[in-house]
A and B are shown apart, each in its own frame.
Chain A
Amino acid sequence: MLKKIRVGVSLAIFVLITFYFLDFAELLPLKFSFLAKIQFLPALLSLNVVILASLVVLTLLFGRVYCSSICPMGVYQDVVAWLSKKVPKKLRKKRKRYTYSSAKTILRWVVLGATLVAFLFGFTFLVGLLDPYGAYGRIVTHFFRPAYLAGNNVLQAVFTSFDNYTFYKVGIYGLGVFSFVVALITLLVIGFLAWKNGRTYCNTICPVGTTLGFLSKFSLFKIQFEENNCNSCGLCTMNCKASCINSDKMEIDYSRCVNCFNCIDVCNRSAMKYAPVSFKKKNIKEVAPKREFDESKRRFLSATVVTTVAATGIIAQKTTGIGLKKEVKRQQAIAPPGALSVDNLQNKCVSCHLCVSKCPSHVIKPAFLEYGLAGMMQPKLYFDHGFCNYDCTICGDVCPSGALVPLSKKEKHTTQMGQVHFVLENCIVYYDETSCGACSEHCPTQAVSMVPYKGSLTIPRIKPEICVGCGGCEYVCPAIPYKAIYVEGVSVHNKLEFEHEEQEEVVIEDFGF
Chain B
Amino acid sequence: MDRRKFLRSLALTGAATVGGTVAVKEDGSLGIMTQSVNAQSSRVTGNYDLVAVLGGEPEVMFRRAIAEMGGMRKFIKKGDKVVVKPNIGWDKSPELAANTNPKLVAEVIKQCFRAGAKEVTVFDHTCDDWRKCYTNSGIEAAAKAAGAKVVPAHRESYYKRVSLPKGKRLKTTKIHEAILNCDKWINIPILKNHGGAQMTISMKNYMGIVWNRGYFHANNLQQCIADVCTYAKRPVLNIVDAYRLMKTRGPRGKSAADVVLSKALFMSQDIVAVDTAAVRFFSQVRNMPLEKVSHISKAQDHKLGNMNLRKLKVKRVKI
Q: Tell me the A residues contacting B by CB distance below 8 Å.
A: 165, 168-169, 171, 360-361, 386, 389-392, 428, 432, 434-438, 440-446, 449-450, 456, 458, 476, 478-480, 501-504, 506, 508, 510-513
Query: Are A478 and B217 interface neighbours, CB within 8 A?
Result: yes
Instruction: Give the docked Cα–Cα distance between A502 and B261 (Å).
Output: 13
Query: Are A361 and B54 interface neighbours, CB within 8 A?
Result: no
With A389-B91, A513-B277 as known contacts, state yes or no: A508 contacts B285, CB within 8 Å.
yes
Contact pattern, B 226-268, Cβ under 8 Å of A = 1, otherwise 0: 0000000000000000000001010110111101111110000
Query: Are B254 and A444 interface neighbours, CB within 8 A?
Result: yes
Residues on B with beta carbons closer than 8 Å to the beta carbon of A441? 127, 194-196, 251-252
Instruction: Give the docked Cα–Cα distance between A480 and B215 (Å).
Output: 11
CB distance from B142 to the nearest CB of A (A): 17
Residues on A with beta carbons closer than 8 Å to the beta carbon of B129? 360-361, 386, 389, 392
Q: Which of A171, A392, A503 touches B259 (beta carbons < 8 Å)?
A: A503
Query: Are A171 and B155 interface neighbours, CB within 8 A?
Result: yes
Instruction: Give the docked Cα–Cα distance between A503 and B245 (Å).
Output: 12
CB-nearest residue of chain A relative to B127?
Answer: A442
Query: Are A501 and B252 interface neighbours, CB within 8 A?
Result: no
Instruction: Give the docked Cα–Cα distance between A305 and B219 (Å).
Output: 44
With A450-B195, A456-B198, A503-B259 as known contacts, state yes or no: A434 contacts B214, CB within 8 Å.
no
Query: Are B197 and A435 interface neighbours, CB within 8 A?
Result: yes
Residues on A with beta carbons closer than 8 Å to the beta carbon of B261? 506
Q: Which of B150, B221, B285 touches A437 (beta carbons < 8 Å)?
A: B221
Query: Are B252 and A511 interface neighbours, CB within 8 A?
Result: no
Q: Which of A168, A171, A449, A513 touches B249 (beta carbons < 8 Å)?
A: A449
Give 5 nearest A-B pairs by CB, closest first. A437-B196, A501-B257, A478-B214, A450-B195, A437-B195
Residues on A with beta carbons closer than 8 Å to the beta carbon of B151? 165
B41 close to chain A: CB less than 8 A: no
CB distance from A161 to the nearest CB of B (A): 12
Residues on B with beta carbons closer than 8 Å to the beta carbon of A503? 255-257, 259
CB distance from A503 to the nearest CB of B (A): 4
CB-nearest residue of chain B relative to A435?
Answer: B221
Residues on B with beta carbons closer than 8 Å to the beta carbon of A501? 254-257
Residues on B with beta carbons closer than 8 Å to the beta carbon of A165? 149-152
CB distance from B14 to the nearest CB of A (A): 22
Query: Are A511 and B196 interface neighbours, CB within 8 A?
Result: no
CB distance from A194 to the nearest CB of B (A): 38
Residues on B with beta carbons closer than 8 Å to the beta carbon of A476? 127, 214, 217
Most interface-central of A446, A450, A501, A511 (chain B CB within 10 A): A511
Query: Are B294 and A456 interface neighbours, CB within 8 A?
Result: yes
Question: Can you name 8 A-B pairs with beta carbons within 8 Å?
Answer: A391-B91, A391-B136, A438-B196, A442-B252, A444-B254, A456-B291, A506-B247, A512-B281
Residues on A with beta carbons closer than 8 Å to the beta carbon of B40? none
Query: Are B281 and A440 interface neighbours, CB within 8 A?
Result: no
Residues on A with beta carbons closer than 8 Å to the beta carbon of B264? 508, 511
Q: A435-B197, A510-B284 are in contact. List 20 more A-B contacts (CB 8 A).
A: A168-B154, A386-B129, A389-B91, A389-B129, A392-B129, A434-B223, A436-B217, A436-B221, A440-B195, A441-B251, A442-B127, A450-B196, A456-B198, A478-B214, A478-B215, A503-B259, A508-B262, A508-B281, A512-B281, A513-B52
Instruction: Give the docked Cα–Cα distance between A389 and B252 (Å).
Output: 13
With A360-B132, A446-B254, A513-B280 as known contacts, state yes or no: A428 contacts B218, CB within 8 Å.
yes
Residues on A with beta carbons closer than 8 Å to the beta carbon of B152? 165, 168-169
Query: Are A458 and B217 interface neighbours, CB within 8 A?
Result: no
Most interface-central of B128, B214, B219, B294 (chain A CB within 10 A): B128
Q: Which of B150, B198, B214 touches A438 (beta carbons < 8 Å)?
A: B214
Residues on B with beta carbons closer than 8 Å to the beta carbon of A480? 218
Instruction: Give the docked Cα–Cα distance between A479 and B249 (Å).
Output: 22
Most interface-central of B195, B220, B221, B222 (chain A CB within 10 A): B195
Instruction: Give the docked Cα–Cα distance between A446 and B248 (Å).
Output: 11
B316 close to chain A: CB less than 8 A: yes
Instruction: Give the docked Cα–Cα distance between A435 and B294 (Å).
Output: 10
Residues on B with beta carbons closer than 8 Å to the beta carbon of A391? 91, 132, 136
CB-nearest residue of chain A relative to B151?
Answer: A165
Report B284-319 residues with CB < 8 Å from chain A CB: 284-285, 291-292, 294, 309, 314, 316
Instruction: Give the docked Cα–Cα distance between A386 and B251 (Å).
Output: 18
CB distance from B128 to the nearest CB of A (A): 6
CB distance from B224 to the nearest CB of A (A): 9
Query: Are B284 and A389 interface neighbours, CB within 8 A?
Result: no
Query: Are A434 and B194 interface neighbours, CB within 8 A?
Result: no
CB-nearest residue of chain B relative to A503?
Answer: B256
CB distance from A450 to the nearest CB of B (A): 4
CB-nearest residue of chain A relative to B310?
Answer: A513
Residues on A with beta carbons closer than 8 Å to the beta carbon of B249? 446, 449
Query: Are B217 and A428 interface neighbours, CB within 8 A?
Result: yes
Contact pattern, B 89-115, Cβ under 8 Å of A = 1, otherwise 0: 001000000000000000000000000
B131 close to chain A: CB less than 8 A: yes
Residues on B with beta carbons closer than 8 Å to the beta carbon of A479? 218
With A438-B196, A511-B52, A512-B284 as known contacts, state yes or no: A169 contacts B259, CB within 8 Å.
no
B283 close to chain A: CB less than 8 A: yes
Residues on B with beta carbons closer than 8 Å to the beta carbon of A435? 196-198, 220-222
Residues on A with beta carbons closer than 8 Å to the beta carbon of B283? 512
